[in-house]
Amino acid sequence: MSKNLALGLLVDVCLLLLCGAFDLDRHHDNAEILQIMEDVHNDPKCQRITKVGYLPGNPDTTVKGEHLYYIIFSDNPTKHEPRK
């Protein structure tokens, strides 16, 4: 199996974990969203290909003063790779 195919399948598994964690019939607050992203990141299948963080900068928060969190899925989530 090629590296790209293996990575693609692993990302699919992690995305399914992420999507399966959401109850689509209700609103989720930032704390719940962050917990779901961290749960996916901490899953042994996803630790190598995910990174959870928040956007730095000015302004680095919402109008309510909350951080703007993200999750990265990549074969190298800690390194910025432009145009990849």
Average pLDDT of the segment spanning 57-81 = 81
pLDDT of residue 67: 84
pTM of the model: 0.69
Q: Domain residues of the chain, as ranges?
A: 3-73
Nearest CA-CA partner of 15 in 83, 82, 74: 74
Q: Is the pLDDT of residue 13 over 80?
A: no
Write the pLDDT tens digit of every residue in 16-60. 666 666 666 777 788 888 888 898 889 888 888 889 988 876 666
Among 7-16, 53-62, 72-81, the minimum mean pLDDT is found in 7-16
Query: Residue 49's pLDDT is what?
Result: 86
